[in-house]
Structure 1
Amino acid sequence: MVGITALAGDIDQLHIEINGGLQLAMKIIIALFLFGVALDVRFEDLGYVVRRPLPIAVGLVAQFVVMPALTVLLTHALDVRGSVAIGMILVVCCPAGNLSNIFTYRARGDVALSISLTTASNVVALVLTPIAVAFWTGLNSSADALMRDVSIDPWEMVLEIALLIGVPFSAGLLVSWRFPRFAERARPVVEPGALVLLLLIVVGALAGQLQTFRDYAGVVAIAIIVQNAVSLAVGNLTGRSLRLPVPSVRAMTFELGVRNTGLSVVLALGFFGDLGGVAVVAALWGMWDSFTGLLLSTWWRRASIRAGETVAVGGPTPDG
């Protein structure tokens, strides 16, 4: 316990330096990943936003307002260090990723709602993520003090996110619209391939920092576990408060509980390299939410099979 306490005091001074080539490779793979996400988007999914704007709007508010606000409260309640608080806030200010769609499908949830929310959150994140990070970190005194020392240019972060999300996502939408047959053939290859490459790149990039991550895992573990549980719970309660059918509640749960932690790792390394605690939180968050998402989706899938439910893709589904 003494060791963890001592490390907690050092985590704000932790410096993580990743080779520039590996950072570039991570950015390229994330761009490819977002390109693959956009290949999944169909016009009927975009029509879902028009036909049912309330779940999308409430889902976005829950993602970018409710969860960051609760996260700030968690950082105070758990009394985490400033860099850990920044990492927790950065993760929840990033949009949902493709894993939320995969887990929703696996859980026999409302895939159309999931894809529509992922699309909307990625579009909104282009502008909102930098603003949200700056605003919510300002509500934690320890995080705010560190942010002043880091002196981040918000426009630089906007440009970075635009390049990582906006360009590949727009390209994927264009390909899906203009070349649907190619998109259909590429979709099963691009997404899994990009995910495998991203995992390999992240593992390679962090291999030299393995001892660091092992040392500091205990410092941030409780914060990550609690925050992820709260995210999943807020997603589930949001769906239930809207009186959505069960498959849609499952989709909303994963959209709130599974974030694009690959993006948050890249942003952490690019803008908070001198605050290693931010990258530690983002990387371990990604591992943990993948684990919990897989467990929850498997449990719901088995429950659906026992109940004789069919896979939901956005059509009318009875409550259960």
Structure 2
Amino acid sequence: MRFLNLFSEFIGKTFAIWTLLFALLGFFSPQLFVPLKDLIVYFLGIIMFGMGLTLTVKDFSEVVKKPLQVLLGVCAQFIIMPLLALALVKLFNIDPLLALGVVLVGSCPGGTSSNVITYLSRGDVALSVTITSITTLLAPFMTPLLLKLLAAESIDVSFYAMMMSIINFVIVPIALGLVVRLLLGARVATITPVLPIVSVAGIVMIVAIVVALNQARLQETGLIIIGIVILHNTFGYLFGYIIARIMGLGLAQRKAISIEVGMQNSGLGAALASKHFDPIVAVPSALFSVWHNISGAILANFYAKLNDKK
């Protein structure tokens, strides 16, 4: 068990490296991953099931304790990132399908890795977990709605079909995880060391498959879309922090909201793009997965050094 805990901790800390490694593997050896394209939704389901196993009623207690902070984080998540995405695709005037992919990842809920980054940043972890949980539960309604509002001009978006996909990919696995946790009780502690390994494996496989499917197109559009992803993520962190500061929140809460806004559930974006649109639409989500884990590690190191002025 000790070895498993140490190995799990190592995998968690080197998440960004594994994501980058598998992205490169998917690019240079696409034949290894293209046949696995139909497994993307299952990998996402496994990740969400693991999230369900870690959730408790206590994780939602912040809604009662700090309702305004939670509301601010949820609103910031579903306003800042979608509007940033729209502004960036308009500014750079990119291919409509890639633009749809940027708006899609911007319309997704917060990423599960944001809780780890908040912890490493010495931020408010309870607030982070609550915001991630609430935005994830709202995703079946909010993500298709935002896509319909912001991207309906460029492509036909089926609100109902996408809502049902998110319920099947996200809500059902999370609910199953919660049920298993209730049934196992304290015994769930024997499973939890494996969850970071499973989550990392799921994300890196999704990234590798998406990159492999779009290897040829990435050679043509890679640099500009990488630049847009970096700007999207960076401004998400920045505007999240600024909004939280304007609203008078403490440093720990500002860190949490900044990270929640900047880090997306890009696995969900890739799964939705693969199921409902052209494979190229999944590229921004795959690149976001690679980059936000790298930037998150850098930001955590910077935030951890910040302290409240007494």
Q: With structure 1 as the length reference, what TM-score do the two structures score?
A: 0.80
Task: Tell me, yes or no, if the aligned pair for 2:85 and 2:102 is still in contact at 8 Å.
Answer: yes
Q: Do the aligned partners of residues 221 and 204 (structure 1) sit closer, same or farther apart at CA in structure 2, a change above 3 Å counting?
A: closer
Show the counterpart of 1:105: 119
What's the offset of the Cα at 1:229? 1.4
SS state at 2:237 partner: helix
> Residue 57 of structure 2 aligns to which amino acid in structure 1?
F
Show the counterpart of 1:44: 58
Task: Tell me, yes or no, if the aligned pair for 1:64 and 1:93 is still in contact at 8 Å.
Answer: yes
Gaps of 5+ in 1: 1-15, 139-143, 308-317
SS state at 1:98 partner: coil
Show the counterpart of 1:279: 282
Q: Do the aligned partners of residues 206 and 61 (structure 1) sit closer, same or farther apart at CA in structure 2, a change above 3 Å counting?
A: same
> Residue 104 of structure 2 aligns to which amino acid in structure 1?
L
Equivalent in 179, 185, 189 of residue 184 of structure 1: 189
Q: Does 1:31 align with 2:34?
A: no
Task: Tell me, yes or no, if the aligned pair for 1:37 and 1:191 is still in contact at 8 Å.
Answer: no
Task: Tell me, yes or no, if the aligned pair for 2:117 and 2:297 is still in contact at 8 Å.
Answer: yes
> Residue 130 of structure 1 aligns to which amino acid in structure 2?
P
Q: Do the aligned partners of residues 85 and 110 (structure 1) sit closer, same or farther apart at CA in structure 2, a change above 3 Å counting?
A: same
Show the counterpart of 1:54: 68
Q: With structure 2 as the length reference, what TM-score do the two structures score?
A: 0.82
Q: Percent identity?
A: 26
Task: Tell me, yes or no, if the aligned pair for 2:47 and 2:202 is still in contact at 8 Å.
Answer: no
The separation in 2 between residues aligned to 1:201 and 1:236, in whole angstroms, is: 29
The separation in 2 between residues aligned to 1:224 and 1:33, in whole angstroms, is: 23
What's the offset of the Cα at 1:209? 3.8
What's the offset of the Cα at 1:222? 2.4
TM alignment of 1:221-240, pairs within 5 A: 221-240=226-245
What's the offset of the Cα at 1:178? 4.1
What's the offset of the Cα at 1:171? 1.6
Show the counterpart of 1:257: 262
Q: Do the aligned partners of residues 209 and 73 (structure 1) sit closer, same or farther apart at CA in structure 2, a change above 3 Å counting?
A: closer
Note the aligned Cα RMSD (angstroms): 2.5
Q: Does 1:300 align with 2:303?
A: yes
What's the offset of the Cα at 1:185? 2.3
What's the offset of the Cα at 1:287? 1.2
Q: Does 1:153 align with 2:153?
A: no
SS state at 1:179 partner: helix
1:195-249 Cα deviation digits (max 9, x unpaired): 2243135325533543432332113122222211111112111221232221221
Task: Tell me, yes or no, if the aligned pair for 2:237 and 2:258 is still in contact at 8 Å.
Answer: yes
Gaps of 5+ in 2: 1-29
How many residues in Structure 1 have an aligned counterpart in Structure 2?
A: 281
1:120-145 Cα deviation digits (max 9, x unpaired): 0001101111111111114xxxxx23
